[in-house]
């Protein structure tokens, strides 16, 4: 039995949750999110709460029960308050700038790295901090991970793109050999 799935999900005021032809639609002040509903899962909405349950007692139904409950919670939370990921750029000459829907990164290569910002995600750049926000938790996390993957922090000087608050263990590096004569 899923410990996450058996708890009812509270739907706050101002948020509309509906299921139309195997599609979950959540509307709120932050936008509208849609997700296809798996045939092994059923969702009932009553008294301002959503209850997720498996349709069949199969292994797949039990496996997807908690997953869809977590998806519902994230969708409801996302349309009310956006999810935010912050990335920090470390390194001399490393910088980011936003022009329209394109994020331009200067991260030590001979060419600038251009990343197009997906729909539903907003990006803000302030000095060496890139803020990625949006209603869909998966989209925000995926775009932040793709930005970080362009130049992961290296372990010797710590240069690169890291999540804010991420700790990068730095290695000591080479030492100069000392010649000893006896």
Task: List the Cα angle 49/1/77 in 5-degree steps.
Answer: 35
Quote the CA–CA distance of 159 and 103 in Å, as a whole number: 19
pTM to 2 decimal places: 0.87
What does the pLDDT look like over 67-124, one tens digit per residue? 999 999 999 999 999 999 999 999 999 999 999 999 999 999 999 999 999 999 999 9
59 phi/psi in degrees, rounded to 5: -65, -40
Task: Give the pLDDT score at 149.
Answer: 95
- For residues 77 and 73, give the distance between their C-alpha atoms in angstroms, rounded to a whole number: 6
Q: How far apart are CA 54 and CA 64, in angstroms?
A: 8
pLDDT for position 75? 94
- Quick check: 1 pLDDT over 70? no
83-163: CATH topology? Outer Surface Protein A; domain 3 (3.90.930)
Task: Say which CATH topology domain 9-80 has.
Answer: Outer Surface Protein A; domain 3 (3.90.930)
CA distance 93 to 99: 19
User: Which segments of the chain belong to CATH 3.90.930.12?
Assistant: 9-80, 83-163
**pLDDT tens, residue by residue, 32-71:** 999 999 999 999 998 889 999 998 888 998 889 999 999 9
């Amino acid at each position: 039995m899923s410990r996450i799935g058996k708890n009812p999900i509270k739907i706050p005021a101002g948020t509309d949750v509906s299921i139309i032809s195997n599609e979950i639609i959540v509307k709120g002040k932050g936008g509208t999110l849609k997700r296809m509903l798996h045939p092994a899962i059923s969702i009932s909405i009553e008294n301002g709460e959503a209850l997720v349950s498996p349709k069949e007692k199969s292994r797949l139904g039990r496996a997807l029960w908690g997953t869809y409950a977590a998806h519902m919670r994230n969708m409801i939370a996302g349309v009310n308050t956006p999810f935010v990921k912050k990335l920090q750029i470390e390194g001399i000459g490393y910088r980011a700038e936003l022009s329209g829907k394109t994020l331009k990164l200067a991260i030590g290569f001979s060419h600038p790295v251009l990343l197009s910002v997906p729909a539903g995600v907003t990006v803000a750049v302030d000095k060496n901090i890139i803020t990625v926000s949006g209603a869909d938790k998966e989209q925000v996390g995926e775009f932040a991970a793709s930005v970080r993957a362009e130049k992961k922090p290296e372990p010797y000087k710590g240069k690169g793109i890291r999540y804010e608050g991420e700790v990068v263990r730095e290695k000591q590096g080479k030492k100069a050999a000392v010649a000893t004569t006896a």
